[in-house]
Copies of this chain bind each other. A is one copy, B any other.
Amino acid sequence: MQEAAHVATNAVHHVGGDVVHAVAAAAHNVHEAVVHQAEASSHSITHMMMHLIIQLAVIIVVAKIGGYLFQRFLKMPSVLGELASGMLIGPYALGGMIDIPNLGILFAESHGFAATPQLYGIATLASIILLFLAGLETDLAAFIRYSVVGSFVGLGGLFAAFVLGDLCAVFWPGNGIDSFMDPAALFLGVISVATSVGITARILAEKQKMASPEGVTILAGAVFDDVFGIVTLAIVMGMAKVSLGGGEVNWGEIGIIAAKAIGFFVVVTALGLIFSRKITAMIKKFKSTEIIVSICFGLALLLAGLAEMAGLAMIIGAYIMGLALSRTDLAHEIEHHMEGVYNLLVPIFFCVMGMMVDFAAMKPVLIFGSVYSLLAIVSKVVGCGLPAYAMKFNLRGSLRIGLGMLPRGEVALIVAGIGLASGIIDQGIFGVSIMMTVVTTMLAPPLLVKSFEGGSGLRKEMDGGGEDVEVIELAFPSRDITEFLLNRFVRALQAEEFFVHHLHTEQPTYRVLKDDIAFTLVQDGGKLIINVPQANQHVARMILLEELLSLTDLLESTKQMKDLDEMGSDLMSGLFA
C-alpha cells in the first residue's frame, strides 16, 4: 500500500518540472507498482505466513517461560511474566532490532500498530476465549442471591476506581483532556475497574484464609466486579462512540446510552438464560461433545461480533454468551474441552499486549502513570473497605478486603488493548494502563500477607468459630485418578445446583458456594485438599460423604463387572487351551 502511494506521490513531486515527462514517469511508475503489487500479492502471502509462524513460535516459547519464571520464583501470576516477555521481545525493544536474513525484522510496527493484523487476529481470538470462559465460570443465579456485603464491596470499589481513574486524567495538566466525558478519560476510568482475583485467591488458599469472612467477601465482591465491570465497559463504549462522532455528551444522553448498554446486557443475557437450555438441547442432538463445544464457541464469536457491530466491544458479547451457558450442564464440558486452546492462545494475547508497550511514548507520562497507579490503589482500598467497614468488619478486616480487591489483570489489559486499537487512547496512556496493572498486581501480595497478621477482622467475634477452618486432605495413588475424581465431584456439585467457580491458578482450584455453604477444593498433584470453615463443616462433610460413597459404588461396580471376570477366565482358558 505504502509503495503504490509513494509512487503516486513521486509523480506529484515532479509538478514543478517538465509536466508531460512527469505524467509519463507517473504512468510508468504506476505500471511498475501495479505489476509489483500483483507479484507481491501472490508471493507475499507465503512470506507473511512464514513470518507469522516464526513470530508465534518466539511468542509461545518466550511467554510460557516468562510466565513460568514469574510464577515460580516471584510468586506472581503468570500473566505478568507473559506481559514482561512481550515488552522484551516487542517492536520497541529486542524484536525491533533483530533482523533475520530472508525474513526481515522479527517484530516490526505495521501501519503504526505494534502487531500485524494476522498476529493481532490470533490475539483477539484469544481475548474472546478468555472472556467467554470467564462468563462461563460465573454463575449468575448464585450471583443474584449472593451475599449483600459482597455486592456493596464490589460496587464500592468499582465506583471509586472508575471516578478516580477518570478524574485523574481530567485534572492532570497539559494532556488536552478537560471533560469527564472525554473518551480517553472514560477509558482510564474503566480500565482501572476490573479486579483480577486470581493472585488474591492463591494467597488466601496458601494462608488458609479462603473460608474466612474476609476471603468469602473478597471472592463474592470479585463476582460483582466482573459482571458490573462488563456493564460499565458497555456504557463507556457507547459514550466514547458518541464523543468520537463529534457529539457533546450531556447527562440526558448518558442516561439513554447507559439504558441502552444495560438494556443490551440484561436483554441478551436474559434471552440467553431463557433459551440456553433449549438451544443446548438442540445442539446436543449432535451427540459428539466436540461438535457441541465448537458450535457453542462459534455462537460466542457471533455474539462478540454482533456486540461490536452494536457499538459495544467484542468481549462483552463473548462474556454474555458464557454467562448464558453457565447455567446449563454443558458449562463444565465446554470449559474442559477449551482448556487446551486457552493454555495455548491466551499467553499469546498477553505477550502481544506487552509488545505494544512503547517505552519512548511512556517516558513523558511516567509521573502521570505513578499518580494513576496510586489512585488505582486508593480507590479499591477505600471503595471496597468503606462498605465493608459499614457492615460487619473492623478496620483491620476492611483493609484486608480492600487489599484483596487491589490487583488488576486480564480484563484491564484487554480493555486497554481495545482502547489502543480503536484509537481512543494513545500509546502513552496504554503504557500507563499496563504500568497500573503491573503495580497493583505486584503490590497486593506482600501487603495482603502483612494485613492478615493479627486478630479477627470482624467488628465483634461472630459465633466463635467463624474463622476456624478445617482442612481435609485426601491422598490418591496417582495424579490422573485425582483429576478424574475431582472432575466427577465438580460435576456432581453442579448437578446439585452448587455454584462452582474455577479459579485459574497454578493448581486447579474450585470455589464451591450455595447459600451459606462455602468451601474450596484444591488439587495438589495426587492430593485433593478441601478447606471448609467450622460453621459449614457438617453440610460440606455430608455432601462429600455422599459423593465418596457413590464413587466407591462406581469403582466397586467397575471392579466386579461381569465382563472383567469373564475376560479373566476367558484369558486363562485361551492361554491353557
Q: Which A residues lie at the B interface, using CB under 8 A?
A: 1, 4-5, 7-9, 11-12, 14-15, 19-20, 22-24, 26-27, 29-30, 33-34, 37-38, 41-43, 45-46, 48-50, 52-54, 56-58, 60-61, 64-65, 67-68, 102-103, 111-113, 116-122, 124-125, 128, 286, 288, 290-291, 293-295, 297-302, 304-305, 308-309, 314, 337-341, 343-345, 347, 418, 421-423, 472-478, 480-481, 484, 487-488, 506, 537-538, 541-542, 544-545, 548, 552, 554-559, 561, 563-564, 567-568, 570-571, 574-575
A481–B488 CA distance with the chains assembled, in angstroms: 10
User: A56 — which chain B residues lie within 8 A by C-beta?
Assistant: 125, 298, 301
User: A542 — which chain B residues lie within 8 A by C-beta?
Assistant: 571, 575
Known: A8-B4, A301-B56, A344-B341. Is A314-B49 also a contact (CB below 8 A)? yes
Interface of A is mostly: helix
In-complex Cβ contact of A121 among B118, B422, B481 (8 A): B118
In-complex Cβ contact of A120 among B23, B49, B50, B102 (8 A): B49
User: A4 — which chain B residues lie within 8 A by C-beta?
Assistant: 1, 4-5, 8
A27–B49 CA distance with the chains assembled, in angstroms: 35
Question: Looking across the interface, which residue of chain B has its beta carbon closest to that of A483?
Answer: B484
A113, A301, A422 — most chain B CB neighbours (10 Å): A301
User: A343 — which chain B residues lie within 8 A by C-beta?
Assistant: 290, 293-294, 337
Q: Give, as a whole number of angstroms, the nearest-CB distance from A151 to chain B.
A: 32
In-complex Cβ contact of A294 among B29, B37, B60, B488 (8 A): B60
Q: Give, as a whole number of angstroms, the nearest-CB distance from A336 to chain B.
A: 8
How many copies, total?
2
In-complex Cβ contact of A23 among B23, B48, B65 (8 A): B23
A568–B552 CA distance with the chains assembled, in angstroms: 12
Q: Is the CB of A567 within 8 A of B53?
A: no
Q: Give, as a whole number of angstroms, the nearest-CB distance from A456 to chain B.
A: 24
Show 26 A/B contacts (Cβ-Cβ < 8 Å), sorted by A: A1-B1, A4-B4, A4-B5, A12-B23, A38-B112, A42-B113, A43-B422, A46-B308, A46-B422, A48-B117, A48-B121, A49-B124, A49-B314, A53-B125, A53-B128, A58-B302, A60-B298, A61-B295, A61-B299, A61-B302, A116-B117, A293-B343, A294-B347, A473-B563, A478-B554, A542-B571
Q: Is the CB of B8 within 8 A of A26?
A: yes
Q: Is the CB of A314 within 8 A of B50?
A: yes
A80–B135 CA distance with the chains assembled, in angstroms: 34
User: A571 — which chain B residues lie within 8 A by C-beta?
Assistant: 541-542, 544-545
Q: Give, as a whole number of angstroms, the nearest-CB distance from A232 to chain B.
A: 19
User: A291 — which chain B residues lie within 8 A by C-beta?
Assistant: 64-65, 67-68
Q: Is the CB of A548 within 8 A of B574?
A: no
In-complex Cβ contact of A548 among B14, B545, B567 (8 A): B567
In-complex Cβ contact of A340 among B1, B339, B475, B575 (8 A): B339
Q: Is the CB of A559 within 8 A of B556?
A: yes
A1, A119, A339 — most chain B CB neighbours (10 Å): A1
